[in-house]
């Protein structure tokens, strides 16, 4: 079978498409034939070494959808031929992936492989950000950074569905239009306008209840300045670089703020929570409350081009890789 292999951390050029030996599933595992593979910003952190893989070389990719081929010993929940998807497991950039069954969910008939690969990791993230990190309800006013991105578009629509007022940022006039068309109440082009001033104006000086910040270095510490007293700073990603000068005293100075740095893996480790999350996600997709925009398709062999596009801010919505 073929897979993308990383032999040494580096730029997109280290994503090498190669023939690799097939692996059989062990106890508790499934062999899955990937039909579509999700591209996520976290894949770039593993590729570059910002996040470390358990060993080198490794097959990157944290999200795939396809069919169960072989069921490992002791697994009773799945049978060959089941349509499934998985996340929180490295090794998805491949024709086939061995995955612990406890990280796999069955797909409803209405959710195709591309849709699943485009939405599972990003959608489960949106679910925990909106329901478990802060319990969003009507009346809440929130700021979502990079709202035209993969997580951003899902987060925006889902937050609107829950009744929040959504202020969003995006990095170009086209992205601003896209986010507005998905229901955001106010969209700021933060490459042109100062988002702190804009949010203060929009909220009449009050500030927002929560900031969802996957941008990281470029928006810190300014993101703290748009929060109301006792507001919550959710730092969930580092698209512009890792925040490396976090100053805890700022939380007090800016109004007894709360901060969290959550990660999806914490939630998906608990199978009951994972299944609850997936059910909620497939529900909001199924009833049309959240539309998943799959705006990039690449053959698996061209994963490097997908990474170049994602890291140079050329993408909107989700990108998928397709094994041939």
Ligand X SMILES: NC(=O)c1ccc[n+]([C@@H]2O[C@H](COP(=O)([O-])OP(=O)(O)OC[C@H]3O[C@@H](n4cnc5c(N)ncnc54)[C@H](OP(=O)(O)O)[C@@H]3O)[C@@H](O)[C@H]2O)c1
Closest CA to 156 of 181, 121, 139, 190: 181
Does 235 bind ligand X (CB under 6 A)? Our answer is no
Does 320 bind ligand X (CB under 6 A)? Our answer is no
Does 149 bind ligand X (CB under 6 A)? Our answer is yes
- Dihedral angle of Cα 266, 12, 189, 209, to the nearest 10 degrees: 10
User: Contact with ligand X (CB under 6 A): which of 99, 164, 239, 321?
Assistant: 239
**Shortest gap between Cβ of 292 and ligand X (angstroms)?**
12
**Shortest gap between Cβ of 225 and ligand X (angstroms)?**
18
Q: What span, in angstroms and rounded, lies between the C-alpha atoms of 249 and 254?
A: 9
**Shortest gap between Cβ of 296 and ligand X (angstroms)?**
10
Tokens standing for residue 99: 């995955």
CA 200 to chain centre: 28
Q: Which segment (7-15, 76-84, 169-177, 245-253) binds ligand X by CB under 6 A?
A: 169-177
Nearer Cβ to ligand X, position 68 or 126? 126
| Neighbour-count burial for 20-59, b at 16+ CB within 10 Å, e otherwise | eeeeebeeebbbbbbbbbbbbbbbbbbbbeeeebeeeebb
CB 64 within 8 A of CB 85: yes
User: Contact with ligand X (CB under 6 A): which of 170, 202, 278, 321?
Assistant: 170
Does 315 bind ligand X (CB under 6 A)? Our answer is yes
Q: Which segment (149-157, 194-202, 249-257, 271-279) binds ligand X by CB under 6 A?
A: 149-157
**Shortest gap between Cβ of 166 and ligand X (angstroms)?**
15
**Shortest gap between Cβ of 153 and ligand X (angstroms)?**
8
CB 277 within 8 A of CB 270: no
Closest CA to 87 of 310, 265, 219: 265
User: Contact with ligand X (CB under 6 A): which of 5, 90, 107, 151?
Assistant: 151
Nearer Cβ to ligand X, position 42 or 142? 42
3-state secondary structure of 233: strand
Nearer Cβ to ligand X, position 117 or 264? 264
**Shortest gap between Cβ of 22 and ligand X (angstroms)?**
29
Q: Which segment (80-88, 98-106, 194-202, 259-267) binds ligand X by CB under 6 A?
A: 259-267
Does 120 bind ligand X (CB under 6 A)? Our answer is no
CB 135 within 8 A of CB 159: no
CB 114 within 8 A of CB 294: yes
User: Contact with ligand X (CB under 6 A): which of 166, 210, 310, 321?
Assistant: 310
CA angle 318, 283, 89 (to 5 degrees): 50
Q: Which residues contact 167 (CB under 8 A, 6 or more apart)?
A: 141, 142, 143, 144, 184, 185, 186, 187, 188, 198, 199, 202, 203, 208
Q: Which residues bind ligand X (CB under 6 A)?
A: 40-42, 121-122, 125, 146, 148-152, 170-171, 175, 214-215, 218, 236-240, 262-264, 310-311, 313, 315
């Amino acid at each position: 079978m073929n897979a993308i292999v990383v032999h040494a951390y580096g730029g997109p050029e280290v994503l090498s498409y190669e023939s690799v030996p097939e692996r059989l599933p062990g106890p508790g595992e499934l062999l899955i034939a990937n039909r579509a593979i999700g591209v996520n910003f976290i894949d770039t952190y593993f590729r570059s070494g910002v996040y470390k893989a358990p060993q080198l070389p490794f097959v990157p990719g944290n999200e795939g959808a396809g069919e169960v081929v072989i069921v490992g010993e002791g697994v009773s929940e799945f049978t060959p031929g089941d349509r499934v998807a998985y996340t929180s497991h490295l090794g998805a950039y491949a024709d086939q992936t061995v995955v612990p069954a406890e990280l796999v969910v069955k797909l409803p008939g209405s959710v195709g492989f591309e849709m699943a690969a485009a939405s599972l990791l990003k959608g489960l993230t949106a679910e925990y950000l909106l329901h478990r990190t802060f319990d969003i309800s009507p009346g809440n006013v929130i700021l979502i950074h990079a709202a035209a991105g993969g997580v951003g578009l899902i987060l925006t629509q889902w937050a609107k569905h829950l009744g929040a007022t959504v202020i969003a940022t995006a990095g170009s006039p086209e992205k601003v239009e896209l986010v507005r068309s998905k229901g955001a109440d106010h969209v700021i082009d933060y490459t042109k306008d100062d988002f702190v001033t804009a949010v203060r104006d929009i909220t009449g000086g009050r500030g927002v209840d929560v900031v969802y910040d996957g941008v990281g270095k470029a928006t810190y510490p300014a993101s703290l300045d748009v929060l109301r007293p006792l507001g919550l700073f959710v730092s969930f990603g580092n698209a512009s670089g890792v925040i490396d000068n976090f100053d805890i005293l700022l939380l007090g100075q800016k109004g007894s703020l709360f901060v969290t740095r959550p990660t999806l893996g914490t939630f998906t480790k608990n199978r009951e929570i994972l299944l609850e999350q997936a059910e909620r996600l497939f529900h909001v997709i199924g009833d049309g409350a959240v539309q998943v925009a799959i705006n990039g398709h690449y053959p698996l062999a061209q994963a490097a081009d997908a990474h170049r596009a994602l890291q140079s801010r050329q993408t909107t919505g989700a990108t998928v890789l397709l094994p041939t």
